[in-house]
A and B are shown apart, each in its own frame.
Chain A
Amino acid sequence: AQSVSQHNHHVILSEAASLELGCNYSYGGTVNLFWYVQYPGQHLQLLLKYFSGDPLVKGIKGFEAEFIKSKFSFNLRKPSVQWSDTAEYFCAAGINTDKLIFGTGTRLQVFP
């Protein structure tokens, strides 16, 4: 079955540390990939997306993600996190249909 896996369930970092959140999908065909962020008490917001072209995608607030087709991965990165990045991060894939398949999310806590 098609699925999206986020192996890091809870990540704790200090400010200025670098961040990488893993995302893997299981599907051999064309996929569109997304990262959504949910700040405490707020709704899910689109952080960045990949459809085609340059596999390195830049999003808002200094985030970027790299699509590596051979690894079925779309990891999210940020060189230096801030306290305001504390949130839950969801990877999602649009696979073959109009449906988004979400991962279970990674809770990021950043301490000053």
Chain B
Amino acid sequence: DAMVIQNPRYQVTQFGKPVTLSCSQTLNHNVMYWYQQKSSQAPKLLFHYYDKDFNNEADTPDNFQSRRPNTSFCFLDIRSPGLGDAAMYLCATSRKTGLDQPQHFGDGTRLSIL
């Protein structure tokens, strides 16, 4: 059974048109992460939530925002997507923060920009 679910698997949007990617989890984990993975590159952490506490990475563009309305759901909002934002977006969860906590990943959403 899928434990970290990302919808949709594929998303196409127009240049500059806001888009929202969603992630839900059935693990009741405290921490949810969003990564961006461009072709042939490493997954790069954008931000994470510990419960309701939002932690933004220093180099995450302002164009990217996130919401976590409850424990189960977390959204990635891209306000004005540019061509350079085309990538796979990965959601992950962990029970708590800490280097010893394995992260559980969803299947990802591949975002294309027209």
Contact = CB atoms under 8 A, between A and B. Distances in A.
Interface of A: 4, 9, 32, 34, 36, 41-46, 49, 51, 90, 94, 98-105
A62 B67 CA distance: 40
Given A43-B108, A45-B105, A46-B102, A98 B97 contact: yes
Contacts of A94: 99
A46 B93 CA distance: 13
A98 B99 contact: yes
Given A43-B106, A44-B90, A4 B99 contact: no
The 4 closest A-B pairs by CB, nearest first: A94-B99, A102-B42, A44-B105, A32-B99
B70 to A, nearest CB: 21
Contacts of B99: 32, 51, 94, 98
Contacts of A36: 105
The listed residue with most A CB atoms (<10 A of its CB), out of B4, B41, B42, is B42
Q: Which range holds the interface residue count of chain B?
A: 20 to 34
B95 to A, nearest CB: 12
A74 B48 CA distance: 26
A36 B42 CA distance: 12
B43 interface: yes
Contacts of B77: none
Given A32-B100, A46-B102, A51-B100, A104 B42 contact: yes
Nearest to B9: A41
A4 B44 CA distance: 12
Given A51-B99, A98-B99, A42 B43 contact: no
Most buried by A among B57, B99, B100: B99
Given A43-B106, A45-B105, A4 B42 contact: yes
Contacts of A98: 48, 97-99
Given A98-B48, A102-B43, A104-B40, 14 more contacts: A9-B40, A42-B107, A43-B105, A43-B107, A44-B105, A45-B105, A46-B102, A51-B99, A51-B100, A94-B99, A98-B97, A101-B42, A102-B42, A104-B42
